[in-house]
Structure 1
Amino acid sequence: MLADLLITNAHVLTQDPAHPRASTLAILGGRILAVDPDADIPARAVFDAEGLTVVPGFNDVHSHSVWFGLGLMETALGDARSLEDVYSAISVAADQLAPGEWVVASGFSPLLLGGFQPDRDRLDEASGGRPVWIKHSSGHACTLNGAALDLVAATQDLTAGIEGGVVVRSDDGRPTGLLEENAMRLVQELMLPYPLETIEKALELATAHYLTEGITSVTDAGIAGGWIGHSPREFGAYLSARDKGLLSVRMQPMLVLDALRPLSGHEDDGGGLGLDAGIRSGLGDEWLRIGPVKIFSDGSLLGSTAYMSEDYVGCTHNHGYLQMDAAELRESALAAYRAGWPIAMHAIGDAAVDHAISIIVEAQESYGPNCFPNRIEHGGVVRPEQLDRIAEAGIVLVPQPHFITEFGDGMAELLGPARTGLSYPAAGLLRRGAVLPGSSDRPVSNGRPLDVMQSFVERLTPAGMAYGPAERITAEQALAAYTTGSAAATGTSREKGSLSPGLLADLVFLDQDPTTVDSSRIGTTRVLGTMVGGELRFLHPDLPIFPTSAKDNR
């Protein structure tokens, strides 16, 4: 048998317990043909890895690719460390636009500015009177200037109550420009939907970037509806991007609950919420497959809107809130599950986690298993007894440890010492035998897997303070989270997650072994090459290590 590619002289961390270390991989038809074969295998191309470390492709199970890709096309505020930085960036962007054209910026984080918010009048001045829409990095709030608020007020009542959202006002009753949670829909109704061509471009930019970081699979946590969607036809953009060769990595998009609607059919079919023709989770192939339904229960820890059982420190009578009535949340989630949609419920506060566990357990007990594991997204605060219930029910909790590295000081101040120890757990999940995947919530946080792995291991805030140190894990466990753990969380363990015969040849070449270096140096590991399905899709520009014959495998 003639292999497509033979990789030799490599330090392979297979993540396969039956064969954890290897030096040779044979690839055929986009899959692993053999690991350390007993006999020589002829191949069309041979690559001498010269001792480079090889690991399975990284799998981020909670990201937002369109949001991230759009951010690459918008005014970036992620590096702003003062309000003057914000005003300056808005001014520079506005100078390049026609009068009346919107200035759209993204990546703004109030926590990095001591909680301060831009002033609507200063934004008017900076933009030259153009409307300004600033998307916060949390995804749970945005800021408008006065010109943008006037456009919103022309068609909508800013004084009306909004379930699960707030139009923030100053003491004199004037809107400040800050819109929280569902109140963001006020501006989105003016600006959305995006053209599908724009969404395709965002996917092209995002997935090309993923390859540079060794990411070969991504789950997009919410598309096609709600305040996190970009078009009712958003999944169509994923299909078109794939058809046009713009989709560089494997994708598992989650549709949001808002995109589903009541199903008709025979009375024995059980009704429920879904898509026309009974389309449901699991449809697709190893390149593009519909994931679970994304359901929002509460808000953001960064914005103090996550639903806690106790008040935030220094915020009397504020412990967050649910985004919809609790009974409605339960009914809608069960209706979707009944129609074949596994649940991926956003729950950050421990009170929201209580609701999520109860709903998922009821769904599983009432209707049995679905095609993918049920999930709780984030887990900003999870009590020990909740971890017990999560493990017992086989629920996958999806934490983002890099929040600690970027926002940990602000989060610790809001939570206090006791709850900080319960925040974004990792070791506690593994001790209970639960699945621990790798994820980032990009672009809310940096999504580079090797940086997130370091956060898993160190759990240090920007000020260098230990944040829930009992939840630290080893580098080996962090690598497993981004490979086998993520495959288990997405129901794809039979396809990927380890470098084993028969599985997809998705792999990454690294310049060092991230499991053996000092924890402070895990993030310094460089990705030198990324293969998806046996095809070399990224080669580090400064290190042309692949022979021509291997490159030709594309």
Structure 2
Amino acid sequence: MSNSILADLILHNGDIWRGREDGRCQALAVWQGKILATGSDAGILALKGPETEVIDLEGRFASPGLIDNHLHLISTGLVMGMVDVTPDAVPTLETMVEAIATRAARTPKGAWVLARGYDQVKLDTGAHPTREDLDRAAPDHPVLVTRACGHIAIANSKALELAGVSESTPTPEGGVIGMDGNRLNGLLAENAIGLVRSAIPEVPEDRLVEAIELGGRLLLSYGITSTMDAAVGQVSGLPEIRAYELAKLAGRLPVRVWLTLLGDPGKSIVEDCWKMGLVSGAGDDMLRVGAVKIFLDGSAGGRTAWMTQPYKDEPENLGVQMLPDEQVFTLVKDYHGKGYALACHAIGDGAIEQLITAYEKALAASPDPERRHRIEHCGYPSAEQNRRMRAAGILPAPQQAFIYDFGDSYVSVLGEERAAGSYPIGTWMRMGLRPSTGSDSPVCSPNPFPNLYTMITRRTWKGTVLRESECLSREEALQAFTEHGAYSQKAEGVKGRLVPGQWADIAVFSENLLEAAPETLRDTTRCVLTLLAGRVVHDAR
């Protein structure tokens, strides 16, 4: 340890987990935003100078800042202003109707009422709300209520009328329009949701910037210092790129963001970004262009993930294939050839098969063993698909929060045996596939503690265990939340560990994440201090 440089900041008297292979220490020193040294209290305090800030951790546990490796940051901020219809907020259909009616009462007639977060399996009715339910709540307002997964939404009559959707409207390819007999029931799935969303006014630029800031501050309060925004362009198109740059320039970008550009046909912002030189790697450690995203299927809980075997009690339903094979192969090859990494949405084994094949073809045409293409979610891969992923250097990017929030839904739609193998993170860890984790917020809360709980227990919110052999050890779970998130963003050299030369992105917790009881982790643990580049950005001590 050199004494030629004095620290700008010292954290001491702590239990600091530096990384899975790096072990734990008592103290660390920061200089110019990066880790200068780690070690014992005595050794690190020797780097204290007259201007050094010193923080006593009082024995608390600290780790690298968590990396939520798949969420929608702009949407997370925007949803904070919508009607909360998550199961905790509205456990029954009637309380959902009341919540929407309350918002409508203070909203000008004719203006949109938007809600997000319901799960029909957790509602008292066990069914999706209907057009009539929403008409009852807000007859004078267009209403759109989006399921937690984001792949199903319910529209009321005003919303359908404004969007020009009727019983004679053709169903878009890769979409579903729900009918009860010969009448619309308000349900829209996958690409059909866009029919109504297109009638909702555009989100203004200042609101986009505000959403980035609000969502980012929420992440910091949980000890999350980095994230991947999965599908930039999904809300407002290319202006989202400008909003991110403006947020950064104004000091309103709270967390490090790895941008994933929407690449779906008809909605893609990739061509415009490519013309501007915004390819994978462009930017800096605070805001960087990451990958391109294409949606290949839906969600398992909504019975729209593309499977090779039918859903329980629906022998004709294999889910939704969003795009034909040749179109996917062409798109992936084009984006790969332009220099982009890809991080495409594929949950069912049918979609995973299509995507692995596309990646294999692109890599054969333009070999690049370090491109690190990802499969977002990767819910139900076969053993052979896992082997092909390893051979091609493809990384799974799952959200273990799905097991906690939706595991019981998976059992109901797939049966116990198929549901048990959902998101097999233990298998991936043993295979060396470097699985990361995330929340997919606003699909699930970005709160990392249920996510950690489920990684080490494989328990749902109801206590159902989905294949215990897929559990991770505590250190493996933290590695998924830090090092592996960094690796899948090609950022393992600058973040994800607390070692000299890496950014001093640090989270301090009320409980020891490596030792506290699983229920304590889930229920009472909180982040008490968050630092980004050695600067305190959240303090709840």
Q: TM-score, normalised by structure 2?
A: 0.94
**Residue type matched to 1:256 in 2?**
L
Residue 480 (structure 2) pairs with residue 481 (structure 1)? yes
Match of 1:408, SS state, is helix
Match of residue 171, structure 2, among 157, 161, 165: 161
The 5-angstrom pairing of residues 484-499 of structure 1 reads 484-499=483-498
More deviation, 531-540/35-44: 35-44
Give the structure 1 partner of residue 342 of structure 2. 343
Query: AA paired with 2:76?
Result: F
Q: Quick one: which of 69, 72, 91 aligns to 2:101?
A: 91
- Structure 1 runs of 4+ off > 3 angstroms? 258-263
Deviates further, 109-118 or 421-430? 109-118
Distance 1:128 1:262, change over 3 A: closer
The 8 Å contact of residues 237 and 269 in structure 2, kept in 1 or not, is answered as: no
- Shift of residue 129, structure 1, vs aligned partner: 2.0
CA RMSD of aligned residues (A): 1.8
Which string of whole-angstrom CA distances, capped at 9 and with x for unpartnered residues, describes residues 286-345 of structure 1?
Answer: 000011001111111121010001000111200112111121111111111110111111
Q: Distance in 2 between matches of 1:411 and 1:57?
A: 31
The corresponding residue for 2:185 is 176
- Partner residue, 2:70: 62
In 2, Cα distance between the equivalents of 1:538 and 1:15?
22
Q: Which moved more, 1:362-371 or 1:346-355?
A: 362-371
For residue 7 of structure 1, the aligned residue among 5, 11, 31 is 11
Q: Distance in 1 between matches of 2:338 and 2:71?
A: 25
Deviation, 1:372, is 4.7
- 1:48: which partner in 2? 56
Matches within 5 A, 1:501-520: 501-520=500-519
SS in 2 for 1:216: strand
Find the aligned partners of 1:445 and 1:411 in 2 and give their Cα distance.
15
CA distance in 2, matches of 1:158, 1:103: 25
- Paired residues of 2:369 and 2:393 also in contact (CA < 8 A): no
Name the structure 2 match of 1:450.
449
Corresponding residue for residue 548 of structure 1: none
Question: In structure 1, what is the Cα distance between the partners aligned to 2:81 and 2:199?
Answer: 19
Paired with 1:316 and 1:508, the residues of 2 have a C-alpha distance of 48
Is the aligned partner of 1:249 residue 2:248?
no
Report the Cα distance in structure 1 between the residues aligned to 2:286 and 2:482, rounded to whole angstroms.
Answer: 17
2:214 corresponds to 1:214: no
Seen in structure 2, the aligned counterparts of structure 1 residues 485 and 158 have a Cα distance that, compared at 3 Å, is farther
Distance 1:487 1:261 in 2: 25
> Which amino acid in 2 is paired with 1:69?
G
After TM superposition, list the pairs within 5 Å mapping 1:265-344 onto structure 2. Answer: 275-344=274-343
User: In structure 1, what is the equivalent of residue 148 of structure 2?
Assistant: 137
1:107 aligns with 2:117: yes
Q: Which piece of structure 1 moves more, 108-117 or 314-323?
A: 108-117
What's the offset of the Cα at 1:152? Answer: 1.2
* Cα separation, partners in 2 of 1:198 and 1:538, compared to 1, 3 Å: same
Whole-angstrom CA distance in 1 between matches of 2:131 and 2:249: 43
Q: Which has the higher mean CA deviation after the structures are superposed, 366-375 or 133-142?
A: 366-375
1:466–1:538: structure 2 CA closer, same or farther, 3 Å change rule?
same
Q: 1:369, CA displacement in angstroms?
A: 2.0
CA contact (8 A) 1:274 1:339 kept: no
Partner SS for 1:529: strand
For residue 277 of structure 1, report the CA deviation from its aligned partner: 3.6
Match of 2:129 in 1: 118
Kindly indicate whether the alpha-carbon contact (under 8 Å) linking 2:404 and 2:450 is maintained by their aligned counterparts in 1: no
Q: Which runs of 5+ in 1 are unaligned?
A: 264-272, 544-554
C-alpha displacement at 1:436, in angstroms? 1.3
Contact 2:27 2:38 in 1 (8 A): yes
| Secondary structure at 1:73 match in 2 | coil
TM-score by length of 1: 0.91
**Aligned 1:384-395 pairs, distance under 5 A:** 384-395=383-394
Task: Give the match's secondary structure for 2:482.
Answer: helix
- Find the residue that maps to 1:292 and give its secondary structure: strand
* Letter paired with 2:261: L
1:168-207 equivalence runs, <5 A: 168-171=178-181, 173-207=182-216
* Corresponding residue to 1:25 among 1, 10, 28: 28
8 Å Cα contact 1:274-1:336 kept in structure 2:
no
- The offset of 1:176, in angstroms, is 0.8
Q: Is the 8 A contact 1:292 1:372 kept in 2?
A: no
Shift, 1:222, TM fit:
0.4
Unaligned runs of 5+ in 2: none
CA change 1:295–1:262 in 2 (3 A) is closer
The residue identity in structure 2 corresponding to 1:183 is: A
1:270 corresponds to which residue? Answer: none
How far apart, CA to CA, are the structure 2 residues paired with 1:289 and 1:157?
44
Write the distance in 2 (CA, Å) between the matches of 1:277 and 1:64.
Answer: 23
CA distance in 2, matches of 1:102, 1:51: 50
State the aligned residue count: 526
Contact 2:405 2:444 in 1 (8 A): yes
Q: Which residue is 2:376 aligned to? A: 377
Alpha carbons 1:475, 1:519 under 8 Å: kept = no
In 2, distance between residues paired with 1:490 and 1:192? 33
Measure the CA separation in 1 of the matches of 2:532 and 2:136.
48
CA distance in 1, matches of 2:352, 2:201: 31
Deviation at 1:16, TM superposition (A): 5.7
- For 1:58, the aligned partner's letter is L
Structure 2 partner of 1:361: 360
The 3-state SS of whatever aligns with 1:437 is coil
